[in-house]
A and B are shown apart, each in its own frame.
Chain A
Amino acid sequence: MIYDKGKIFAGLAIFVGLVASPFWYNPVFGTGSAAPPEVQLPAAPAKCVLPRDEMRASHMQVIYDWREKVVRDGARTYPHPDGEDRPMSLSNTCLGCHEGKKKFCDTCHEYLAVQPFCWDCHFDPKEHV
Chain B
Amino acid sequence: MGTDEGKGMDRRGFLKLAGLGALGAAGLPAGWSLLQPGEALASAPAAARGGKRWAMVVDMRKGCPDDCRKCTTACHQEHNVPSFADETDPKRHEIKWIWKTAYHSAFPGNEQQFAREDLEHKETVVLCNHCEHPPCVKVCPTQATYQRPDGIVMMDFHRCIGCRFCMAGCPYGARSFNWRNPRAGLPAKVPNPAYPTRMMGVVEKCTFCSERLDKNLQPACVEACTEKLLAFGDLQDAAAPVRALLKEHFTIRRKPNLGTQPQVYFII
Chain A residues within CB distance 8 Å of chain B: 67, 71-72, 74, 76, 89, 91-92, 117, 120-125, 127-129
17 A–B pairs (Cβ distance < 8 Å), ordered by A: A67-B158, A74-B148, A74-B214, A76-B214, A89-B194, A91-B194, A91-B196, A92-B194, A120-B199, A121-B157, A121-B198, A121-B199, A122-B196, A123-B193, A123-B196, A125-B193, A127-B193
List B residues 130-172 near A (Cβ within 8 Å).
146, 148, 154, 156-158
Chain B residues positioned under 8 Å from A122 (CB to CB):
196
Q: Which of B148, B157, B193 is the one whose CB lies under 8 Å from A91?
A: B193
Residues of B participating in the A interface, judged by any CB pair closer than 8 Å: 146, 148, 154, 156-158, 189-190, 193-194, 196-199, 210, 214
Measured in the bound complex, the distance between the Cα atoms of B42 and A86 in whole Å is: 34
Complex contacts, B199 vs chain A, CB 8 Å:
117, 120-121
Known contacts A74-B148, A74-B210: A121-B197 contact under CB 8 Å = yes
User: Which A residue's beta carbon lies closest to that of B155?
Assistant: A71
Chain B binding surface, main DSSP class? loop
Q: Which of B158, B189, B190 has the largest number of chain A CB atoms within 10 A?
A: B158
How far does the alpha carbon of A38 sit from the alpha carbon of B77 in the complex, in Å?
Answer: 37
A72 and B156 within 8 A (CB): yes
Contact status B196-A128, CB under 8 Å: no
How many Å lie between the Cα of A122 and that of B158 in the bound state? 11
CB distance from B137 to the nearest CB of A (A): 13
- Residues of B contacting A67 with CB < 8 Å? 158
What separation, in Å, do the CA atoms of A122 and B183 have in the docked complex?
A: 11
Name which residue of chain B comes closest to A87, CB basis: B214
A123-B199 Cα distance, complex, nearest whole Å: 12
User: A125 — which chain B residues lie within 8 A by C-beta?
Assistant: 193-194
Interchain CA distance A122-B210 in the complex, whole Å = 17
